[in-house]
Structure 1
């Protein structure tokens, strides 16, 4: 049952948005790339993130340099973007097997204040020089993540996973808008993962995610693709399923932006963090907490994210 509880922590990607594109490293806990097999899981959680912009030299800066061809060479920006998010997540672990694998599906609608990638999209789309301040403090529906393909296989001490998910541009978006809640384009996440469990209590995971972005709505711009490598370990504290773990990630842009509004400098970021989960009522209700710290960012917002949540499990017979 340990795997079932920690699945709630997958939603943290949609609060700790420190990058361009939709997907962010360490969005999943190390054990959560693998499909559940226990009915319905309903996580409810709150997250807070505090971020600042880092330039191409990796230094915190109030100046955005050469945001796009034809735009001003530099923009003076107001530092510090804070994000609040509320998530109701739906996960289903299916019965039986598909291609010999356990399977599941998930959907994640969210309500949030504008994330750092929305702030960066706003800054980099300005067409006049001078100082700009991102002051949007409203809450609204953001872009929605759906993962219809979630497969995992286990053989002895190893588990393997293949996942496909997409981000739908359900959040409010208009070109150069200050009150945007979404990014205005679809993103596709293709992921593979492997886990090794030398003992019943210890697990070590490595996962790779490839994100492909589509053209932005009403703008001649297409965000470049990103490659993310996630890794981490988990330790099962007891037979109840209570668990702690550490994780880390590296994310980098691997293709250029496209379009007349493209050309924004390539970016990268690293992250590290930890989590803990505890069953209040075993196999029914649990709580968790998580913290992520990003570092060595270039041409991105970076900072600290903290999340807390409650998880509800509704098992089904298999």
Structure 2
């Protein structure tokens, strides 16, 4: 009797654990990737001028207003979930040519709070070192009426991660990403432009698990106008303003893979997607070589993920690394 009672107790315990795991898995499916939407906007298909080194400080703020289900309906209203990212980044463009393109590279060392890993509203993380973003290869081409850019970037899992934890600062996986884009100019002075940048993210397995986030496709860009502010004598510009409407789209291309602790089953769930529209303004002060940029995007049409608002503030200083004028 005691042996049979013990067996029943173990079965009940196993079922309880399984149910808890299922609730946890379903609460966290769909899983997010490392690509930060809103990081690119106007002239997203244009590389910076050659022989320049930019040191920048980004401020990313995302506020979720609702959680949407697989039909796009609200499953959780006002989840009271905000995410913040900041850090220090460097972006360098050389005068070295590859296939007729100018070579560049960049890196971002960042800190994040409330790192969103999936559709889980139970997140409570303070500001901590997060995953590292590195672009070892960026190629830029400049034509009379169009610019083109291609890049490879990777996300290193340097942030804290433990499966099931609510205070992770990273995603616990290595991520590869390839991007290609263009900026089209509608006049000879290149002051009226439209851009788009497509990025495809391939994700590895999460630390100490067989959980794998699906591949993610993102589009970012915008329609803008460049304005030159001249000095009192109107002989030379003293600052440049770039403003316009921006957008982003993101789609989960392949399903997440979340192994379940029974029968070798794997939870995939429905893929997620989201779109956003907003505005951007950038100000470049030429004599000080300093810039400030602000983006706001409001999300629409979210399916199986959070929907909210994205704010992106960037401060940067540009150094010349050569004799050519940018």
TM-score greater than 0.5 by the shorter chain: yes
281 and 192 in structure 1: CA distance in 2 versus 1, 3 angstrom threshold: closer
Indicate the residue corresponding to 1:73 in structure 2. Answer: none
Q: Distance in 2 between matches of 1:297 and 1:24?
A: 16
Alpha carbons 1:20, 1:300 under 8 Å: kept: no
User: 2:250 aligned with 1:251, yes or no?
Assistant: yes
Please, which of 130, 135, 139 is the counterpart of residue 142 of structure 1?
130
Indicate the residue corresponding to 1:151 in structure 2. Answer: 139
Q: Give the structure with the higher percent strand.
A: 2
Could you say what secondary structure the match of 1:79 adopts? strand
Unaligned runs of 5+ in 2: 1-29, 229-236, 261-266
Indicate the residue corresponding to 2:62 in structure 1. Answer: 49
Could you say what secondary structure the match of 1:61 adopts? strand
Q: Distance in 2 between matches of 1:150 and 1:265?
A: 34
Alpha carbons 1:35, 1:103 under 8 Å: kept: no
Alpha carbons 2:135, 2:154 under 8 Å: kept: yes
User: 2:277 aligned with 1:272, yes or no?
Assistant: yes
Indicate the residue corresponding to 2:192 in structure 1. Answer: 202
Alpha carbons 1:42, 1:89 under 8 Å: kept: yes
1:79-98, aligned counterparts within 5 Å? Answer: 79-98=79-98
User: 2:149 aligned with 1:161, yes or no?
Assistant: yes
> Bigger CA drift: 153-162 or 172-181?
153-162
Alpha carbons 1:245, 1:274 under 8 Å: kept: yes
Could you say what secondary structure the match of 1:308 adopts? strand
> Bigger CA drift: 293-302 or 45-54?
45-54
Please, which of 147, 165, 184 is the counterpart of residue 177 of structure 1?
165
Equivalent residues, number: 275
Q: Distance in 2 between matches of 1:62 and 1:206?
A: 32
Indicate the residue corresponding to 1:58 in structure 2. Answer: 72
Q: State the Cα distance separating 1:288 from its structure 2 match.
A: 2.0
Q: State the Cα distance separating 1:311 from its structure 2 match.
A: 1.2
Q: Distance in 2 between matches of 1:161 and 1:153?
A: 6
Indicate the residue corresponding to 2:223 in structure 1. Answer: 233
Measured against aligned partners, the alpha-carbon deviations of 1:70-125 in whole angstroms (never above 9, x if no partner) come to xxxxxxxx822112222211111112322211121010111110233x253xx3xx
178 and 216 in structure 1: CA distance in 2 versus 1, 3 angstrom threshold: same
Higher Rg of the two aligned structures: 2
TM-score computed with the length of structure 2 as normaliser: 0.78
User: 2:53 aligned with 1:40, yes or no?
Assistant: yes
Q: Distance in 2 between matches of 1:175 and 1:55?
A: 23
Q: Distance in 1 between matches of 2:74 and 2:136?
A: 38
Alpha carbons 2:55, 2:316 under 8 Å: kept: yes
Unaligned runs of 5+ in 1: 1-17, 64-77, 124-132
TM-score computed with the length of structure 1 as normaliser: 0.80
1:5-24, aligned counterparts within 5 Å? Answer: 20-24=32-36
Measured against aligned partners, the alpha-carbon deviations of 1:218-263 in whole angstroms (never above 9, x if no partner) come to 1111111112233312211114322112211221111122251541
Alpha carbons 2:157, 2:173 under 8 Å: kept: yes
